C-alpha cells in the first residue's frame, strides 16, 4: 500500500480556480433538498446570492431538469448553452439573486468498484445502501464567472426518508427525526470548493472536545450498522489527531468533523469530513495512518487552498506531516524505508517521463503519486533538515495564520520558510518544484586514494551526507555539490565511504541501491522464461508466468539466457538450485530456504536486469501460488504454504560505497 492510500479527489472544476477568484468572488447558496435514495432522485430549491461581475452564467448538469428560474424575484426565461455534460444560462450584468428549482435523476450506486475505479469519478449516484453526489457532478446550481467556477458558501437543509441520514461539508446546525422524514441543516461560512452530498442508513456516534482556542468541537461518525461497533475507536483516534495538529499548526478551522462510511471503496477528504469505504474502515491500520492524513487536509487543502495553476503542494505537506510523521514516531528504520520508498518510486520513472511539482494537481496515475506525494514530501523532509525543526514548525504556523481560507502557492510557502529561518530558499524551491527529474549522483574512487562525487547534467545544488566507517568509528561528512565533479577530502583514518546510505537526499537511485522486488520483472520489457524440472510442474509453470508477467515471455531452452533482459526461472527445488549454480547466479537465499511448498525471490542477473526465481515442490503449490503472487509484487522474497504467504520480506538496499586508503598509503 503506497504511503498515501486515501486521497482527496480534486473536484474537476477546482482545477480552474487557481488564482481566478478573489475574496469577493464567492457565491452564497441557500438551498433545501429532498433526496429519495430508492427512487434515485433529488429535488431542490436554491437561492444564489451572486458576487458582482460580468460574464456570469448559471451552471447545472445537463441531465438535471430546471423547473423554474427567477432573477431578482422575477420569473425569467434565458437561453441556455450545452457543453459536454453541462448546461449553462447567461445572466444579466445587474442580477443580484437567483431562485432556482430543479430535479435530477441519479444513477444507481455501483457495487463493484475497486479503489482505483473510485478516483476521479464524478457521477451522482443513489441507493438505499448509500448515495454520493459529488460537487463535480453539478447536481445543484452553481456559478461561472468568466468561464471559471467560483468558490461557494452555503446553508443546506436536506430531507431524507426515515432511516436515512445525509451530510454535506460544514457545521451541523440542527437535525430532526420526524415520522415522515429526517431533516438536517448544515452551514459552511467560509468559501469552499463545492458541495458533496453523502447519505446512507447511518448510525450516529458523537464526542465533544474543546479546541485549542476554546471552541466546542463535535467529532462524529456516521457509520453503516455493520461497523457501528468501530465508532468508539475512531472517535478516540480523531480526538488524538485534533489535539496533535492544533498544537502543531493552529486551531482547527471548522467546528465539526465527521467520518462517513461509504458502500464503495472510497477515500475522500472534504472540509470537516472524510468519506471512507466500509471495507477500508474495517482495516485496523486505517485509524493510525490514513485517518490522520484526511484530518490534516482540513489545514492543508481545505484550510489553505493550493494554487493549482502553480502546483498542488498540499498532498506533499500532508504526507510529510501525517504518513511520514507517524513512521518517524514509530522508528528511524520505518522513516528511512519510507524515504527509500519515495526515491525508489521516483527512480522508476524513466528520465524525461515525469513531471515537475509545479505541474502536479491531483493523482490520476502512479507517476503523479510518486511526484505529488513522494517528491513533495521528500522536499519538506530536506527543508526541515536544512533549516531545523524549530524554524520549520514556526514557518508552518506563520503560513497557516496568514493564508487560512485563501489560495496559496509554493511561493507563499517559500516566503514563510524564509521568514522563519532567515535563509534564502529561492534556489532550493526552484530546483525541486520547477524542474522535472532528479539529480543522479555517483561515488567513484580518485587516483590519490580519495573519492569524488559525480553528478550528471543538468546540475543541482545539493548537500549530500557521506558516511565514513572505519573500525568502530562512524563519521558523517556533508558534501556541498554545485558542479559535475566534487572532490571528497580523504579522511585521515581511511575506511569505507558510503553515499547517503539513509536516503536523505532527493536523487535518482543507482541500480544497486534499489532493493529488487518481484514486480520489477515487468519494468524492463518482455522477460525470458526458463522452466526446469521437466513435466513435473505440468501447466502450472505457464500459469504462473502468465499471471506474473505483463507481456508474453520468450522461452529459453538449453541456451544461456541473455544478460540484457529480465529473467523468470520456474522449477522444482533441486532443478532450480542446480541451474543457478551452473549459471553462476546467487544461490537460494536463506530467508526462503526450502520452507513451505513454494519459494519465490527477486534478484538481479547480468548487470542490472531483474531476476525472479520460483521454486515449487508440486504442481498444486504452483497452481495456488499463481493466484496470490501477482498481489505480492512489492516483496523481495516470499514463502507460500497452503496457497497463502506464510513469510515474506523485502531485501535491504546496498549503498554506493568505496574503500579509502589511509593518507600516507600510496596509490598502486
Residues making contact with Zn ion (CB under 5 A): 7-8, 315, 318
* Secondary structure of 226-248 as H, E, C letters: HHHHHHHHHHHHHHHHHHHHHHH
CB of 373 to Zn ion, least distance (A): 7
502 prior amide bond cis, ω within 30? no
Q: Which residues, 6+ apart, have CB-to-CB distance to 365 below 8 Å? A: none
Specify the residue for cell string 500459469.
543
Q: What is the CA radius of gyration of the chain?
A: 29
Q: Which is nearer to Zn ion, 315 or 368 (CB)?
A: 315
CB of 294 to Zn ion, least distance (A): 7
Residue 173 vs residues 189, 223, 230, 238, 257: alpha-carbon distances, Å: 12, 20, 25, 21, 13
Specify the residue for cell string 572532490.
487
CB of 556 to Zn ion, least distance (A): 45
Q: Which is nearer to Zn ion, 150 or 290 (CB)?
A: 290
CB of 319 to Zn ion, least distance (A): 7
Bridge-based pairing of strands 182-192 and 171-177 is antiparallel
CB of 574 to Zn ion, least distance (A): 49
Q: Which is nearer to Zn ion, 152 or 274 (CB)?
A: 274
Residue 23 has, within 13 A of its CA and on its CB side, a CA count of 4
Q: Which is nearer to Zn ion, 322 or 549 (CB)?
A: 322
How far apart are alpha carbons 455 and 483 in whole angstroms? 7
CB of 9 to Zn ion, least distance (A): 10
CB of 10 to Zn ion, least distance (A): 10
Q: Which is nearer to Zn ion, 295 or 481 (CB)?
A: 295
Q: Which is nearer to Zn ion, 270 or 639 (CB)?
A: 270
DSSP string, 448-496: TS-EEEEEPSSP--EEEEEEEEETTEEEEEEEEE-SSEEEEPPPTT-EE
Q: Which is nearer to Zn ion, 7 or 569 (CB)?
A: 7
CB of 306 to Zn ion, least distance (A): 11
Residue 185 has a CB neighbour count (10 Å cut-off) of: 17
DSSP string, 246-263: HHHT---SSSEEEEEEES
**Angle of CA points 42, 47, 53, to nearest 5°:** 125
CB of 297 to Zn ion, least distance (A): 6
582 three-state secondary structure: helix
Task: Report yes or no: 135 and 194 within 8 Å, Cβ to Cβ.
Answer: yes
Q: Which is nearer to Zn ion, 159 or 315 (CB)?
A: 315
How far apart are alpha carbons 380 and 374 in whole angstroms? 10
By CB neighbour count within 10 A (0-12 exposed, 13-18 middle, 19+ buried), where does 423 fall?
Answer: middle
CB of 409 to Zn ion, least distance (A): 18
Task: Report yes or no: 293 and 319 within 8 Å, Cβ to Cβ.
Answer: yes
Q: Which is nearer to Zn ion, 165 or 325 (CB)?
A: 325
Q: Which H or E run contains 504?
A: none
CB of 242 to Zn ion, least distance (A): 17
CB of 456 to Zn ion, least distance (A): 32
CB of 169 to Zn ion, least distance (A): 16
* Residue 324 backbone phi and psi in degrees, to 5: -70, -40
How far apart are alpha carbons 450 and 518 in whole angstroms? 37
Q: Which is nearer to Zn ion, 25 or 291 (CB)?
A: 291
How far apart are alpha carbons 352 and 349 in whole angstroms? 8
521 three-state secondary structure: helix
Q: Which is nearer to Zn ion, 7 or 127 (CB)?
A: 7
Say how far residue 89 (Cα) sits from the centre of its chain. 37
Q: Which is nearer to Zn ion, 8 or 604 (CB)?
A: 8
Residues 55-86: b if buried by 16+ CB within 10 A, e if exposed: ebbbbbbebbebeebebeeeebeeeeeeeeeb
Q: Which is nearer to Zn ion, 8 or 57 (CB)?
A: 8
Amino acid at each position: 500500500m503506497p504511503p498515501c492510500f486515501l486521497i482527496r479527489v480534486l473536484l474537476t472544476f477546482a482545477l480552474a480556480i487557481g488564482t481566478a477568484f478573489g475574496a469577493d468572488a464567492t457565491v452564497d447558496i441557500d438551498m433545501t433538498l429532498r433526496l429519495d435514495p430508492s427512487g434515485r432522485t433529488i429535488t431542490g430549491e436554491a437561492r444564489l446570492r451572486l458576487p458582482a461581475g460580468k460574464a456570469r452564467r448559471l451552471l447545472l448538469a445537463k441531465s438535471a431538469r430546471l423547473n423554474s428560474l427567477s432573477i431578482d424575484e422575477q420569473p425569467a426565461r434565458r437561453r441556455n448553452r450545452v457543453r459536454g455534460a453541462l448546461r449553462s444560462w447567461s445572466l444579466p450584468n445587474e442580477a443580484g439573486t437567483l431562485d432556482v428549482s430543479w430535479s435530477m435523476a441519479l444513477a444507481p450506486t455501483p457495487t463493484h468498484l475497486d479503489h482505483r475505479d473510485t478516483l476521479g469519478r464524478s457521477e451522482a449516484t443513489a441507493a438505499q445502501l448509500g448515495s454520493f453526489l459529488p460537487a463535480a457532478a453539478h447536481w445543484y446550481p452553481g456559478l461561472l464567472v468568466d468561464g471559471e467556477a467560483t468558490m461557494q458558501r452555503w446553508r443546506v437543509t436536506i430531507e431524507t426518508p426515515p432511516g436515512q441520514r445525509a451530510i454535506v461539508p460544514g457545521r451541523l446546525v440542527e437535525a430532526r427525526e420526524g415520522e415522515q422524514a429526517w431533516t438536517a441543516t448544515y452551514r459552511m461560512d467560509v468559501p469552499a470548493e463545492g458541495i458533496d452530498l453523502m447519505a446512507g442508513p447511518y448510525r450516529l456516534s458523537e464526542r465533544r472536545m474543546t479546541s485549542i482556542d476554546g471552541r466546542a468541537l463535535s467529532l462524529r461518525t456516521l457509520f453503516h450498522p455493520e461497523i457501528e461497533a468501530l465508532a468508539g475507536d475512531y472517535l478516540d483516534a480523531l480526538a488524538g489527531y485534533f489535539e496533535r495538529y492544533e498544537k502543531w499548526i493552529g486551531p482547527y478551522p471548522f467546528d465539526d468533523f465527521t467520518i462517513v462510511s461509504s458502500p464503495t471503496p472510497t477515500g475522500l477528504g472534504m472540509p470537516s469530513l472524510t468519506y471512507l469505504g466500509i471495507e477500508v474502515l474495517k482495516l485496523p491500520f486505517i485509524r493510525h495512518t490514513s485517518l490522520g492524513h484526511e484530518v490534516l487536509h482540513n489545514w492543508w487543502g481545505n484550510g489553505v487552498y493550493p494554487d493549482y495553476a502553480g502546483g498542488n503542494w498540499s498532498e506533499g505537506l500532508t504526507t510529510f506531516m501525517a504518513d511520514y510523521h507517524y513512521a518517524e514516531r514509530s522508528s528511524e528504520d520505518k522513516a528511512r524505508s519510507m524515504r527509500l520508498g519515495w526515491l525508489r518510486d521516483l527512480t522508476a520513472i524513466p528520465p524525461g517521463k515525469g513531471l515537475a511539482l509545479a505541474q502536479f494537481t491531483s493523482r490520476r496515475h502512479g507517476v503523479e503519486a510518486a511526484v505529488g506525494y513522494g517528491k513533495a514530501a521528500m522536499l519538506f523532509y530536506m527543508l526541515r533538515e536544512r533549516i531545523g525543526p524549530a524554524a520549520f514548525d514556526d514557518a508552518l504556523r506563520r503560513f497557516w495564520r496568514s493564508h487560512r481560507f485563501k489560495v496559496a502557492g509554493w511561493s507563499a510557502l517559500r516566503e514563510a520558510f524564509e521568514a522563519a529561518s532567515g535563509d534564502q530558499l529561492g534556489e532550493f524551491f526552484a530546483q525541486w518544484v520547477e524542474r522535472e527529474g532528479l539529480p543522479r549522483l555517483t561515488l567513484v574512487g580518485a587516483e590519490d586514494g580519495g573519492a569524488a562525487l559525480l553528478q550528471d547534467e543538468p546540475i543541482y545544488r545539493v548537500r549530500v551526507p557521506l558516511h565514513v566507517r572505519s573500525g568502530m568509528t562512524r563519521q558523517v561528512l556533508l558534501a556541498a555539490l554545485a558542479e559535475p565533479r566534487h572532490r571528497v577530502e580523504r579522511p585521515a583514518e581511511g575506511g569505507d565511504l558510503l553515499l547517503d546510505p539513509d536516503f536523505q537526499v532527493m536523487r535518482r537511485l543507482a541500480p544497486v541501491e534499489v532493493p529488487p522486488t518481484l514486480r520489477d520483472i515487468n519494468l524492463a520489457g518482455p522477460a525470458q522464461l526458463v522452466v526446469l524440472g521437466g513435466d513435473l510442474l505440468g501447466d502450472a509453470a505457464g500459469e504462473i508466468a502468465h499471471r506474473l508477467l505483463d507481456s508474453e515471455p520468450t522461452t529459453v531452452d538449453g541456451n544461456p539466457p541473455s544478460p540484457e533482459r529480465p529473467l523468470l526461472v520456474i522449477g522444482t527445488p533441486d532443478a532450480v538450485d542446480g541451474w543457478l549454480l551452473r549459471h553462476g547466479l546467487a544461490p537460494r537465499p536463506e530467508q526462503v530456504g526450502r520452507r513451505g511448498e513454494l519459494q519465490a525471490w527477486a534478484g538481479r542477473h547480468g548487470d542490472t536486469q531483474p531476476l525472479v526465481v520460483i521454486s515449487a515442490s508440486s504442481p498444486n503449490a504452483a497452481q495456488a501460488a499463481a493466484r496470490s503472487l501477482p498481489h505480492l509484487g512489492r516483496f523481495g522474497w516470499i514463502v507460500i504454504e497452503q496457497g497463502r504467504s506464510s513469510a515474506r520480506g523485502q531485501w535491504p538496499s546496498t549503498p554506493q560505497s568505496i574503500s579509502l586508503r589511509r593518507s600516507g598509503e600510496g596509490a598502486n
